Structures are given as structure tokens and as C-alpha cells.
Structure 1
Amino acid sequence: MARSNNQKLKLLYLYQILLDETDDTHSIGTQQIIDELDSRGISAERKSIYTDIKALTEYGADIIGEKKGRGYEYHIGNRPFELAELKLLVDAVQSSRFITRKKSKELIRKIEGLTSTYQAKELQGQVFVAQRIKTMNESIYYNIDMIHSAINSNKKIRFQYFNWSVDKKQELRHGGEYYSVSPWGVCWNDEWYYLIAFDDKTREIRHYRVDKMKKLTLTGEMREGKDSFESLDMAVYTKKRFGMYDGKEERVHLICKNDFAGVMIDRFGKDIPFSKVDEEHFEVTVNVAVSGLFFGWIIGLGDGVRISGPSEVVDKMKEVIKRLNEVYGI
């Protein structure tokens, strides 16, 4: 591009130089700015730099100038994201199992572009993506986007659903039959994204792991199940399900040692009432979907928590323990 044409981009290049090369601890002098612009085919004089920076400031850019010797040095002040906030975003991307390794690296590079080259190096120091357990389904991002489009347009979706086989291959469920559902929400639970939907076939609310969906498309049919979802609290729905496994919903009584108060609050929230049993124990009553994962959670808490009712749930717990005893020859 000819130098005369580049002059039209002078203000944009100047702002980008300040964004890339400066932050709270790194400034750039007028001559450095002139040199950077020259490397981009743009000629500039000191007086024009002052005028341009004033224009950018009037536009809303937070450019801080400090007099150094006979000239000024400049740096960007406030940015849309602080470094600490960007570090949180990088941590979230790294720890998210549903984001593939490839996409994690792409997203982190984009996050690095939101700060200076110096602070970007601090973000790079956090990156340990290679050893994290990640999903292998690259289409999840498009699936989530399409689900939101379906919700916004009040349309149903259809998709195939798969499980992983012992030889690490995708096996379509129900022989590859397409699921037809009305999407009503997406939730994040135990490091996975789940679609919450009204299923055409069962006429019930069901949930599906988004990363296990294949060939997801919108249909021209209007959504169903509005009445079911108007009375559904999504947060309560996910809280009742351990690992998002379905099971018969029961009102379960738990006797807990006092030291396990935090465990109960972390799982069920601060609103659940505690009833004192004795000096060392309290009781809580919670609504849960009784499943194998729920019993596994109880077992994992050792002697700190035990199910006291209802009797049929206690009996199921005993059956689980009996099977474990048989498996381990106890």
C-alpha cells in the first residue's frame, strides 16, 4: 500500500500501537511512536502526534501522558479488561473440559490480544492446556450456538446422540435414530454443558450432554413443553441431580456430623434448614433424584453423613453397599 494511502490509517495505527506496546508499567515516547508508524509506511511529526493523541482522548481512549525530559511518554490507562480479569478468563478456558485443546489455544490467543504484549506474556505463563482432560468434539461451539438460535426462534431441534465404546469409538444411541426435542435452556454442571429440553417421544423434560450431539439441526416445528418449563427452576433442577443422572425424585433425610455443614451448603445452598439432632449431629431434608451417583456421593462422605429416610431409599443404599461388599469380597 502506498504511503499516501497509509496516512488515512494513521489514527488507527497509533491507537493500536498504544494498545499493543503500553500498559501501566510500560510507556512509549513520541520518537518511538514516530518510528513505529514509519515502519508501517506512515510519516508523522511530533506536533501531529500530540494532535492525534488529543483526538483519541476526546474519542474516549484513556491515554495517559507524562512529561519526560523535553518530550512526553504515553501509555494506555483503563482497558475493557484488567489483567486479573483476563487471568480468570484464561483459567476458565484451561479448566473447561468441554473446550477442545485446539479451541483452548485459539481462545487464549484471542484473550492475549485484549492486553499489551508485555502482559500477554504473563497470561502465557499460566497456559498448561496440553495435560488437561479435554473433549474431542470440536462441533460443541456450533451446537451451543444453534441451541440458542432455536430457543430465540422458538423452534425444535433434532440430533443424533452417542456414547463412547470400550474401543474409544463413538456409538450412536438407538441405532442412529434422531432425537426431536424442544430446547428450553443450557446449563453448566460438573464441567459439562447440558441441554435441558422437552422430548417429543417421552413427553418429559430430559437433559443431554451437548458434546455428545451429532448432526444437530433446527427444524421448522414450533417448540412444545412450555407449561412444563414455566414451573421449572433450572438451578433447582440441576442441584437435585448428581452428575446430571436422572432418578426418581425423593425427599431424603440426611443425618450429618457438624463438620459436614459446609459440604451440605456447598451442594444444596444456604437456604436448607439444619435441625439439631444432638451435640455432634444435625439433620437436613433435601429433594434429590435418587441415582447411583447420589449413593456414590454419600459413600464418599464416609461416616460423616448417613441416610435416615425414607425407608425405601435406605434399603437401596444397603443394596449398593451389599453389592460393593460382594465385588470386593468383604
Structure 2
Amino acid sequence: MAKNSNQKLKLLYLYRIFLEKTDEEHKLTMSQILSSLSHYGIEAERKSIYDDIAALQDYGLDIALQRGRNGGYYIASRDFELPELKLLVDAVQCSRFITEKKSNELIKKVEALASEPQARALQRQVYISGRVKTMNESIYYNIDKLHTAISSGKKITFRYFEWAVDFSGTERICKRFRRDGGKYTVSPWALTWDDENYYLVAYNGESDQIRHYRVDKMEHIALSAQQREGQKHFREQFNVAAYTRKMFGMFSGEERTVRLRCENRFIGVIRDRFGSDLMLQKLDEEHFAVNVTVAVSPQFFSWIFGLGGAVRILEPDDVRSSFQKQLQHMTE
């Protein structure tokens, strides 16, 4: 066997060859393995490759051998199966908060978890959606800072903006910071995902309330030396999943228990919105009633309206009246 400086790397290159070139549908014969090693400047004997494969198997790499025609050595199992990787690629591609640039970078990294033939299948799996991607590249670092603040139990400061139209010169969309650019100081407790956006759920000591903030609209996030507050709200009575179910489009409003009259065929819609732990009451052969807790807001009314009369508000009367007023305002 020829001796050169690359011989010490032979086992590592063999490991790479198996990961990149083989899967259940693509196998390498011993001749092909030797040829692949030669591309890295490594000449080897068959016996040494048998020993190396045994060493890799002992290390935990699932190398299998299929004998016969079209047989050869291949990786029989990986940490991620191809369908799982396709799901990850789709999730990255469809996420609105991930920029197009970062989407491409993440997909490349996901492809590295598969063999080269499987990676090509992943590329075919990717589709370009017409949805708007965020332009805020710093959101990934913001999320990391927020996780750090939550785990360390520290308050944070940040500036918060909303999108506005600037008509002072050339009409354009611009940022308009709330509080005239002043900083918010809150106690972060959880990150949640709703309507394709990340939200920080936090305790605001100034108002003594639980508030949420869209992460891609937060800038200049910094950890404070102060310990966070709001332990009573979050440890005794707060459930993040229940909180997000109450919010429609994550718009705040007064929390009320509302009784709804629903057509039976819309049970799936109600379950998807409010969960499966619901107490239903039969009204007649075609309708049921259910009590749900919601944040009463124009977005909640829009959700009711969008169901075309199949779901109606029965109680309380003031919420019914507010809904009717919004409908009248819209028609006017």
C-alpha cells in the first residue's frame, strides 16, 4: 500500500464517502470505494478497507452490505429519514419570518444531513411560494437573545416599531417607533408562534399585565441586570397555549367567556381554534352550543363573520351588541 500524508485521514474520508455517496437506493462496490478514495489522493488495499468499515461500524455508523447484482455497501439508517428532511425543508421554505437568504442557507445545511442523491430530491421538494418573506435578518439573533433572557430570568429592554406610510416625499413604507423611540422594559417568559410569526409573551410591570410583542418588530434588544418579574402570573395561572388560543391574530382585547351557537359541521373549525377539551351542548339536530374564552376584539368579530353565519354569538348581550355595531359600521 502506498504511503503518503493522506493515509492518516483515510478513515475520515471513508466516513465522508459513505455519508455523501450512499443510501438505501445508492450503494458502492469495493472498487468504487477505492476509486473514491483515490480522488482524495489515498491508495488503499481491500483488506484495509474491510478493517476500516468494521471500525466505523463499531463507532456506530450503520453500514450495511447488500450482496448480489446491484449490491454494495451503504448507510442503512441516519439520524433523519428523507421524509423528515422534506418536512424540515418545507417548514423553512414556508416560514414567513425567515428571509429568503437565510432560507437558502438553512436548506443547504439540511441537505448536508442526507446523501447527495437524497439532497437532489430535497431540492426538487423545495417550492417558491408567493408569500412575503420578512426582510429582518436580525430576527434569528433576537430569538437567541430572548431565549437567553428567558432561561437566565432577566428583564430586557428594546425598541418597538410598527409599519407606517411616509407621504413627506416619495411615498414609501417606513418604520415608526412607538413611544417616540423610547425603550420598553419587560420581563420575558415565553416565545410562541402564531399566524406565521414569533411573539414574545412578557410581563409588563408598568401596567401589571401580560403583553405580547412581535419579535420581528423588536430592535436593539438588550439583557438587563434586573431579575424579571411576574412570577405570580406565570407560575400560578398562566398557560401559553391557552393564551394564544384566546387571541385572534394576536390582537389583545378584554377576555370574556362567550357562548357560541354552531352548526354541527363546523365542529372541526371550533376544535382547531379552541382545542379538544370543550363542553358541548346539543341545541337541536343541526346545532350545538359551546362556551369559550376569547379576547374580544375586531379580529374575533371578523373570524365570526368569516364563518358565514354558521357560528353565532349567543351571550353575553354586550358582546352581541358590539358585533352588530361593527357589522353596521362596515356596511356604512
CA distance in 1, matches of 2:66, 2:19: 17
1:84 maps to amino acid: P
1:187 is matched with which residue: 181, 186, 192? Answer: 192
Is 1:30–1:72's contact at 8 Å kept on the other side of the alignment? no
CA distance in 1, matches of 2:128, 2:44: 43
1:303 is matched with which residue: 309, 318, 321? Answer: 309
Give the C-alpha shift of residue 98 in structure 1: 0.9
Give the C-alpha shift of residue 130 in structure 1: 6.1
Is 1:124 the equivalent of 2:123?
yes
1:142 maps to amino acid: Y
1:277 is matched with which residue: 276, 280, 283? Answer: 283
2:295 is matched with which residue: 285, 289, 300? Answer: 289
- Range that drifts further, 303-312 or 72-81: 72-81
Identity level (%): 53
Query: Residues 305, 31 of structure 1: CA spacing in aligned structure 2 closer, same or farther, 3 A cutoff?
Result: same
CA distance in 2, matches of 1:116, 1:78: 11
Give the C-alpha shift of residue 216 in structure 1: 0.8
User: What SS class does the counterpart of residue 126 from structure 2 fall into?
Assistant: coil
RMSD over aligned CA atoms reads: 1.4
- Range that drifts further, 235-244 or 34-43: 34-43
1:63 corresponds to:
63
Is 1:223 the equivalent of 2:222?
no
Is 1:101–1:130's contact at 8 Å kept on the other side of the alignment? no
2:169 corresponds to:
none
Is 1:236 the equivalent of 2:242?
yes
For residues 298-318 of structure 1, give each alpha carbon's deviation from its aligned partner in whole angstroms, at most 9, with x where no partner exists: 000011011011000001001
Is 1:54 the equivalent of 2:59?
no
Give the C-alpha shift of residue 200 in structure 1: 3.2
2:37 corresponds to:
37
2:176 corresponds to:
171
Give the C-alpha shift of residue 68 in structure 1: 4.2
CA distance in 2, matches of 1:72, 1:133: 47
1:187 maps to amino acid: T
CA distance in 2, matches of 1:214, 1:247: 25
- Range that drifts further, 298-307 or 194-203: 194-203
Q: Unaligned 5+ residue runs, structure 2?
A: 166-171
Q: Unaligned 5+ residue runs, structure 1?
A: none
For residues 257-314 of structure 1, give each alpha carbon's deviation from its aligned partner in whole angstroms, at most 9, with x where no partner exists: 1111111111111111111111111111100000010000000001101101100000
1:123 maps to amino acid: L
1:82 maps to amino acid: E
1:12 corresponds to:
12
Give the C-alpha shift of residue 128 in structure 1: 2.2
For residues 77-101 of structure 1, give each alpha carbon's deviation from its aligned partner in whole angstroms, at most 9, with x where no partner exists: 0100000000111111111111111
2:319 maps to amino acid: V
CA distance in 2, matches of 1:119, 1:133: 28
Is 2:94–2:129's contact at 8 Å kept on the other side of the alignment? no
Is 2:262–2:289's contact at 8 Å kept on the other side of the alignment? yes
Give the C-alpha shift of residue 43 in structure 1: 2.0
Is 2:14–2:37's contact at 8 Å kept on the other side of the alignment? yes
Give the C-alpha shift of residue 203 in structure 1: 2.3
User: What SS class does the counterpart of residue 133 from structure 2 fall into?
Assistant: coil
Is 1:66–1:72's contact at 8 Å kept on the other side of the alignment? yes
The count of residues paired between Structure 1 and Structure 2 equals 323
Give the C-alpha shift of residue 10 in structure 1: 1.0
2:24 corresponds to:
24
